[in-house]
Amino acid sequence: MTQSAFDTANHDDYPTRLPAEKWQERKDPVVWGNWTPEAPLTRAQTESFEKNGYLVLKDVFSPAEVAALQKESAHMRSGEAKIAEDNVITEPGSNEVRTVFRLDEENALFARLASDRRIAGAVSFLLDDEVYLHQSRLNYKPGFTGKEFYWHSDFETWHAEDGMPRMRAISASILLTDNDALNGPLMLMPGTHKNFIACAGETPEDNHKTSLKKQEIGVPSHDALTKMAKEHGIDYASGKAGTVVLFDCNTMHGSNGNITPFPRSNAFFVYNAWSNRVVQPFAAKNPRPAFLSSRDPKGPISIESGKIG
- The pLDDT tens digits of the residues spanning 163-196 come to 999 999 999 999 999 999 998 899 999 999 999 9
Q: Give the CA-trace dihedral at 4, 5, 11, 13, to 10 degrees.
A: 130
Structural domain boundaries, residue 61: 42-292
In a domain, 3, yes or no: no
Residue 4: pLDDT band (50, 70, 90) is very low
In a domain, 2, yes or no: no
Spatial contact of 94 and 88, defined as CB atoms under 8 Å apart: no
- Supply the pTM of this predicted model: 0.92
Spatial contact of 284 and 164, defined as CB atoms under 8 Å apart: no
274: CATH: 2.60.120.620
Would the pLDDT of 305 be above 90?
Answer: yes
- pLDDT at residue number 3: 38
Helix, strand or coil for residue 6? helix
In a domain, 64, yes or no: yes
In a domain, 90, yes or no: yes
- The pLDDT tens digits of the residues spanning 257-273 come to 888 998 889 999 999 99
Which strands make up the sheet holding 253-255, listed edge to edge?
Answer: 149-152, 253-255, 186-188, 235-236
DSSP state of 159: I
Phi, psi of 202 (to 5 degrees): -80, 155
Instruction: Name the domain count of the chain.
Output: 1
The whole-angstrom separation of Cα 173 and Cα 186 is 9
Helix, strand or coil for residue 300? coil
In a domain, 36, yes or no: no
In a domain, 250, yes or no: yes
**What is the rounded average pLDDT of the residues 68-93?**
84
- The pLDDT tens digits of the residues spanning 96-129 come to 777 899 999 999 999 999 999 999 999 999 999 9
The whole-angstrom separation of Cα 16 and Cα 271 is 22
Identity of the amino acid at 215: Q
**What is the rounded average pLDDT of the residues 137-141?**
90
Radius of gyration of the chain (CA): 18
In a domain, 9, yes or no: no
In a domain, 22, yes or no: no
Spatial contact of 186 and 267, defined as CB atoms under 8 Å apart: no
The DSSP code sequence of 211-280 is HTTS--SS---HHHHHHHHHHH--EE--B-TT-EEEEETT--EEE--B-SSS-EEEEEEEEEEGGG---S
Identity of the amino acid at 255: S
Task: Region of 301 please: left (phi>0), alpha (psi -120 to 50) or beta.
Answer: beta
Q: Which has more pLDDT, 174 or 150?
A: 174
- The pLDDT tens digits of the residues spanning 23-45 come to 999 999 999 999 999 999 999 99
Q: Where are the strands (E) in the chain, listed by range?
A: 22-25, 54-57, 88-90, 97-101, 131-141, 149-152, 169-175, 186-188, 195-198, 235-236, 244-248, 253-255, 264-273
Phi, psi of 97 (to 5 degrees): -65, 125
Within 10 A of 135 (CB to CB), how many other CB atoms are there? 24
